[in-house]
Amino acid sequence: MSTAQDTGRQAPDRLLVIGCGMIAREVLAVKERLGLDHLDLTCLPAEFHYYPDRIAPALDKAILKARAEGYDRIFIGYADCGSGGMVDRVCEQHGVERMDGPHCFAFYQGIEAFNAIADGDMLSFYMTDFLCRQFEAFFIKPLGLDKHPELVSDYFGHYEKVVYLAQTNDPALDKVAEDAAKLLGLAYERRFTGYGDLTPSLARVAGPAD
């Protein structure tokens, strides 16, 4: 996915966010809310959520491509995301910055808030707006639960509750999360996070260049 226009070399003041497909809608929502017309977005596949070893190599290629297109300002719309520090190595190599935190579940809640409750959430299965919209495609079908529901306990038996980190107030998504908790046999908790640290982070990096 990309909303960056292919118009040759980009104006120096434009900012390109290279992000995870799982947060594309949210980045665009923040862009609209803050009036960041100079912010462009290109995304890597959301399925990298399952393959964190693919994130850093893909980011490296995406940054090189963006530089060739004339982007001087680039921000990485990923946290570490299970890469074991590889995202940081790519960022250091290219002199770019990424979202703070270990994953999007942390920066949606706010890093300070997440750190305060992280130990208590060790046995929580997080869902976001994206994961609610894609619950069938991201969990049910890949895990074979549509054909073998008896596998639920094998996959989710070590969790205690589903925690829905809601970016928006959407009754349809609430129902998906609640139904998911029932399906998985887990307790349910909803936390409205909005866009968390994504909003101030994009506001900061999209400001005037130093």
State the virtual CA torsion across 23, 133, 169, 3 in degrees, nearest 10: 40
At 74 the pLDDT is 98
Q: For 90-112, write each residue's pLDDT tens digit.
A: 999 999 999 999 999 999 999 99
What's the rounded mean pLDDT across residues 169-191? 96
Model confidence over 22-40: pLDDT tens digits?
999 999 999 999 999 999 9
Q: What share of the chain is helix, strand, coil (3-state, %, to 5)?
A: 50, 15, 35
pLDDT band at 7 (very low <50, low <70, confident <90, very high): very low
Q: In this model, does residue 82 exceed pLDDT 70?
A: yes
The predicted model scores a pTM of 0.89
For residue 210, what pLDDT is reported?
Answer: 56
Domain locations along the chain: 15-102+197-205, 111-192
Give the pLDDT band (50/70/90) at residue 11. Answer: low
Sheet holding 187-192, edge to edge: 124-127, 161-166, 187-192
- The fold adopted by the segment(s) 15-102+197-205 is Rossmann fold (3.40.50)
Collect all residues with Cβ–Cβ distance below 8 Å to 136 and sequence separation of at least 6. 146
